[in-house]
Structure 1
Amino acid sequence: MEMPNFVTPARRRGDLGEDAAARYLESQGMRVIERNWRYRQWELDLICRDGDTLVFVEVKTRASGSMSTPADGLGRAKRARLVKAAARYLSAKGLWDEPCRFDLAAVVDTGASLDVEHTENAFDVTGMRL
C-alpha cells in the first residue's frame, strides 16, 4: 500500500519561502539557474548568476514571531555542508574557474506576506575544507 503524499506545514512554508526568494533575487537582476540541486546527502537551495559570479543561495524561512531568526539556521555545520555541496556542483559542471559566493535569503512568513532579506557573502569560506 502506498503512503499518501503528505506535505508538512514546515515543508510547505519552506517551498513558499524558496519561491519568494527566487522571485526577489530575479527582481534584483540575478538569474536562477538551478533549484534544489542534490548530490547524495547535500542540497543547494538556489544556484544563481549575478553577472559573471556563480551564487549559491541558502534559503531559510521562519514564521513571524519564531524564537529563532532565519540566519540562526546557518551554523558552522550547515555552512560546511553547503561548501561540500558547492564543491560537488562545481566538479559536476566543470566550473571551478568561476567566481563564486555564498548568499543567504532570509524569509519571514508574516502570515500576510513573505518578507525576503538578502545577504551577499553570508559567510567566508577561507580555511574551510572542500
Structure 2
Amino acid sequence: MQFLKKNTGRATTTKAQGDAGEDEALAYLQAQGLRLLQRNYRTPGRGGGEIDLIMQTADGTVVFVEVRKRSRSDFGGAAATIGATKRRRIVFAAQHYFLSWSRLPPARFDVVTLDGAGPQWLQAAFDAG
C-alpha cells in the first residue's frame, strides 16, 4: 500500500514556506529601519487572530504586518488573499496585543507580499474600521 508509506521526499511544507516568507519579510523590514517587537503573536482561544510580525518604526509607530507569499499571481496575487475576515482577525489580535499597554502609540496595518519579484511593502494597507 503505497499511500501508507512515509513521504521521504524533500518537499517543503506549507508551514516551512510560510516561515521562510516571514524571514524574508522580516529581513526586508529591518533593512528599512523597523525594529521587531514580536513574531507570530496569537490571541488565546479559538477563532482569535494571529499577527505575523509586530514591528516598530523609529518614531514609535507600532506596525502590525501580515506577510503573504504566493508562487502564482492567479486570482489577484498575494495581496488579494487578505479578505475581510482575515483583516478583522488581525485587528482583533492588535487590540488584544495593546491590552497591556498603558499608553497607546500610533499604529497601522501593513502587508508585505512576496510574489516572486521581491518583497512589496504596502504601508497602511487597511485600517481598523
Alignment TM-score, normalising by the size of structure 2: 0.80
Matched, 1:22 2:30: no
The structure with the larger Rg is 2
Alignment TM-score, normalising by the size of structure 1: 0.80
Q: Secondary structure at the match of 1:89?
A: helix
How many residue pairs were aligned?
115
**1:87-126 counterparts in 2 under 5 A?**
87-91=95-99, 93-94=100-101, 96-108=103-115, 110=116, 115-125=118-128
Distance 1:17 1:36, change over 3 A: same
Distance 1:70 1:38, change over 3 A: same
Gap runs ≥5 in structure 2: 1-10
Moved over 2 A (4+): 64-68
The answer to which structure has the higher strand fraction is 1
Distance 1:96 1:42, change over 3 A: farther
Q: CA deviation at 1:82?
A: 0.4
Matched, 1:10 2:4: no
Q: CA deviation at 1:61?
A: 0.8
Percent identity between matched residues is: 37
Q: CA deviation at 1:73?
A: 1.5
Q: Secondary structure at the match of 1:121?
A: strand
Gap runs ≥5 in structure 1: 1-6
Q: What is the distance in 1 between the residues matched to 2:35 and 2:122?
A: 16
2:82 pairs with one of 42, 52, 74: 74
Q: What is the distance in 1 between the residues matched to 2:125 and 2:110?
A: 5
Q: What is the distance in 2 between the residues matched to 1:71 and 1:62?
A: 9
After superposition, what is the alpha-carbon deviation per residue over 1:62-110, rounded to whole angstroms, capped at 9, x for unaligned? 114554411012111111000000000000x3155210000001012x4
Correspondence for 1:86 = 94
For the aligned residues, what is the CA RMSD? 1.9
Q: What is the distance in 2 between the residues matched to 1:67 and 1:13?
A: 20
Q: CA deviation at 1:34?
A: 0.6
